[in-house]
Structure 1
Amino acid sequence: MKGTQTEVTDLRSALERLKETPGQLIETNVPVDPHGELSGVYRHVGAGGTVKRPTQIGPAMIFNDIKGHPGARVVNGLLASRERVGMLLDTDPERLGHLLNESVKNPIEPVTVPNHQAPAQEVVHRADDPDFDIRKLVPAPTNTEEDAGPYITIGMCYASDSETGESDMTIHRLCLQSKDEMSMYFVPGARHLDVFRKKAEAVGEALPISISIGVDPAVEIATSFEPPTTPLGFNELEIAGGIRKKAVELTDCLTINEKAIANAEYVIEGELIPNKRVREDQNTNTGKAMPEFPGYTGPAVKELPVIKVKAVTHRKNPIMQTVIGPSEEHVTMAGIPTEASIMQMIDKAMPGRLLNVYAHSSGGGKYMAVLQFKKTQVSDEGKQRQAALLAFSAFSELKHIYIVDEDVDPFDSNDVLWSMNTRFQGDVDTIFLPNVRCHPLDPSQSPEYNPQLSGKGLSCKTIFDCTVPYHMKEEFKRAEFTEVDPTKWVPDLYNK
């Protein structure tokens, strides 16, 4: 990174860092309705990802006048570009997967600070106050007119195993259902907090849970790791500590026996109530939940666990953080940990062969990965396909893998497609893995779409081997140009 920049420790310092680079953050004082309009605006400004076109990758945006929420501010798109994530995590965008892989290997445990040192508890609203209403306290947007309600889309959910005391933090879909209740969606079999919830429910106990909103981007990225990289009992906050080389600070909640991020903008304290369920769209009856990462609106779930809210605490003049589900922001949060997980798995089996990984934007950071693989000897032929199989093991939600050579930029879609057009023959370079468990939000994964599938949530995973056979490498050398420093001729183009 160039020059002296603001140290990023929380959301506010992250925004200050962005202000130091022109074009990375914009603000508006024009009033905006959080019901549909706010996300509708940012869809054009900078959502990107799998959002319906027209959209683009653009700056993060702060809305300073939220209708119905006097004094509230909302920021969208903080992590909605790979360049911006690199800027906030102090590394080159192409090295983000490597950074996270290194942080997994060098974790730092979180620490607990006293309540009086926690900015997140500067203002306290308790649910036993007759005027308490989380829908008025937290300016959570409704992404589209069809949404089941206002959603907290980037809340860091923290809970602990009642038997072992081990804690974990993940991001979940949280819908505001009433003045003191939220529904919580768990992807089947994919989240440690669901294990904790089921354990507590089995003995008729509520599970204390905190939701921290508006935190250091390192926390938001780290909490998106999944097994096998972070097995049950591994607290992802240790990875965030590894990224910053400094422990994440937690503090004790005020109304429940749990902890929360000490410098969050908002903290919601509550309990997952045993054996209580609610229909996700009970207030709208649309049958829809909210836009999800594949680019479609997810169906409302008929029965979801319920969080009974006990308190909302926040900083003075808090900033609500939100994301658009299918945006580039989801790609970075889900995709970069995916890249690190794949690197870790493959590097153990064949060190030095995998040069880089890109969890592609078109797959929402989950469905598609591009592997840059280097063959150095005859016996390496075939290992590229083994690497792809390992990638599927490292991240079960992957659906498609493209393998390219070391002279192809995995982050440049045109370069990847070039390799597919000149180094790929469909009948010999396509490998099908039918009826393998994938991610349930892909609408094509059903027997109605593909009769060969035995059930929903299964997919035909596919490897596209776009690498040159080792014995033919000399025949596939790209044209070599004279190496020059272009800034001598066009300094204004490169010295922005």
Structure 2
Amino acid sequence: MTGLRSLLPDLLVHSAPLPVDRIGADFAARFAGVPATSSACAEPAVLYPVTGSDIPVLLGMYGCEERVRGWLPGGAADLVERAVAPEHVVDPPCQQAKSQLSALPVLRTTPRDAGPYITMGVVHAHDPETGESALSVHRMLVLSADRLAIWMVPGRQLLAMHRRLGRLPVSVNIGAPPAAMVASALSSAVLPDGVGKLDVAGALAGAPLTVADGISQPVRVLASAEIVLEGYLSDEVADEGAGVSLPEFLGYDGDTRSGLPVLTVTAVTTRRDPVYQAVIGPGREQSVILGLAGALSVALCGDPALADLHFPAAGGGMLTLFASVRPNSDLASAARRIFDRHRFVKLIVFTDTDVDIRCAEDVWWAVTTRANLGADCTTFDGYQPLAMDPSQAPGWRPGGTGRTFIDATSAHPVRRSFA
């Protein structure tokens, strides 16, 4: 086995080909966990043969946090210090065959979606003037045989680069190595000047990532990806149209957008036997990816109060943070620093280090026995609402845009009683 298949010895293969528009629903019904369903379970990796296509669809690869951690031997303690520049190669696996955008089994997750969306394409771009590079994942709606509409959240590095340069060559790497996928979700603000996400991905992987030159654009491509799209962003824009964008990572439908930049595809290359990797929208995979990257981003800020960090799937890997802290830490100051630097964090639960923050029952046991919420729950006001959180939408109960932390640590005078 090669490519992503080599990472998945327990890969499940669906027994018969399915139409592309039924694959997402089948995975959601049979395998998906929180927040897609009420099942608190890790998701298996499943390969779906596709009716009328030679390229199967891979779902669930990132649906188990323990499995993903096993692919990333590099820890967070000295991640930036171990960052290593990617290695350039010729004849990369991702360019073994040529293809077309129309040949890819792009999923339409629900009948409500505005259309088929590419959901696991790691976009890479480079600014030749500053040397800055962007690495990030965005939803991309297929508009035609060679055009995609790409949604970039305001403030993202790729959008700023596009606005600065105008025409921007990019590569879209589908089935990228896990270290690149997790690094793509890191906060750029926590990285020092001169250190890019691909450099950090090398530290996560324990070896430099490999890159190659594009065949149609002056871009870098991830050499070990399953499928690579090359193209460019210009001043052309398009609307996503009617319906919803696709179910967002928290399990709710997303809003369609207007005036999105258009990515014009100029080449599609693949491995000889590629898989098309996707996520179903509200599933566990995005929560695991975002959660691992979020914990790294918070850890890279170097707060001495924090002993360990975990973003659970129930918060989409972004909104809720469980943090074990060292004794006698100033929790209010630590919480304020996190909320100010990481704008998607809505709730923090602080625990002692004897609590397993990767076990939700253990965390809520600590909340139950080591906190009285009337005194141990603190909310900071003055933050902007988060668009993906329905409880912060206009019309919800007043006061829904604050940021809150719970002190579920044992009080110092009685700490010995809580062993």
Shorter-normalised TM-score: what interval? over 0.9
Q: What do residues 111-144 of structure 1 show as CA deviations (whole Å, max 9, x unaligned)? A: 2222xx211111224xxxxxxx62x221111111
Instruction: Tell me which moved more, 178-187 or 235-244.
Output: 235-244
Residue correspondence of structure 1 range 90-489 to structure 2 within 5 A: 90=73, 99-114=75-90, 117-125=91-99, 134=101, 136-189=102-155, 191-201=156-166, 206-230=167-191, 234-274=195-235, 276-281=236-241, 285-286=242-243, 288-345=244-301, 348-350=302-304, 353-375=305-327, 380=328, 383-437=330-384, 439-452=386-399, 459-477=401-419
2:324·2:351 contact (CA, 8 Å) conserved in 1? yes
Task: Give the counterpart letter for 1:369 in structure 2.
Answer: L
Verify: 1:66 aligned to 2:50, yes or no. yes
Q: Which amino acid aligns with 1:33?
A: P
Write the letter of the residue equivalent to 1:106. Answer: R
How far apart in 1 are the matches of 2:95 and 2:109? 28
What's the CA shift for 1:14? 4.3
Distance in 2, matches of 1:53 and 1:408, equals 24
- RMSD, aligned α-carbons: 2.0
Asked if structure 1 preserves the Cα contact closer than 8 Å seen for 2:3 and 2:224, the reply is no
Q: Distance in 2 between matches of 1:337 and 1:214?
A: 18
Distance 1:72 1:421 in 2: 49
Say if 1:45 and 1:57, in contact at 8 Å, map to a contact too: no
Supply the distance in 2 between the matched residues of 1:298 and 1:100 (Cα, whole angstroms): 32
- Report the AA paired with residue 135 of structure 2: M
Residue in 2 that maps onto 1:48: 33
CA contact under 8 A between 2:385 and 2:393: conserved in structure 1? no
- Post-superposition shift, 1:159? 0.7
Kindly indicate whether the alpha-carbon contact (under 8 Å) linking 2:43 and 2:284 is maintained by their aligned counterparts in 1: no
Change (3 A) 1:12 1:443: farther
8 Å Cα contact 2:240-2:256 kept in structure 1: yes
Task: Please give the alpha-carbon distance, in whole angstroms, between the structure 2 residues aligned to 1:89 and 1:349.
Answer: 23
Counterparts of 2:205 and 2:61, CA distance in 1:
18
Q: 1:244 to 1:56 in 2, by over 3 A?
A: closer
In 2, Cα distance between equivalents of 1:328 and 1:100? 22
Question: Is contact 2:380–2:403 with CA below 8 Å preserved after alignment?
Answer: yes
Q: Is the 8 A contact 1:168 1:234 kept in 2?
A: no
Q: TM-score, normalised by structure 1?
A: 0.80
1:171–1:223 CA contact under 8 A, matched in 2: yes
- 1:480 maps to none
Q: Check 1:438–1:360 CA distance in 2 against 1; reply closer, same or farther (3 A cut).
A: farther
Q: Shift of residue 370 of structure 1?
A: 0.5
Number of aligned residue pairs: 419
Letter in 2 for 1:336: L
Partners in 1 of 2:213 and 2:51 — Cα distance? 32
Q: How many angstroms does 1:452 deviate by? A: 4.3
> Which residue does 1:26 correspond to in 2?
12
Give yes or no for contact 1:108–1:245 (8 Å, CA) kept in 2. no
Name the CA shift for 1:463/1:40 in 2 (closer, same or farther; >3 Å): same
The alpha-carbon deviation at position 233 of structure 1 amounts to 5.9
Taking the aligned partners of 1:213 and 1:154, their CA distance within structure 2 comes to 6
* SS at 1:102 equivalent: coil
**Unaligned 5+ runs, structure 1:** 1-10, 91-97, 126-132, 454-458, 478-496
Q: CA deviation at 1:260?
A: 0.6
Residue equivalent to 1:482? none
Write the distance in 2 (CA, Å) between the matches of 1:45 and 1:59: 10
Paired amino acid for 2:75: L
Amino acid across the alignment from 2:78: E
Preserved contact between residue 32 and residue 39 of structure 2 (Cα < 8 Å)? no
Whole-angstrom CA distance in 2 between matches of 1:17 and 1:180: 31
SS of alignment partner, residue 170 of structure 1: strand
* Structure 2: distance between partners of 1:200 and 1:259: 17
Give identity over the alignment, percent: 28
Q: For 1:208-267, what per-residue CA distance to the aligned partner results, in whole angstroms no more than 9, with x for missing partners?
A: 111011121111111110132236764211111112232211111111111111121111
> What secondary structure sits across from 1:15 in the alignment?
helix
Contact 1:162 1:200 in 2 (8 A): no
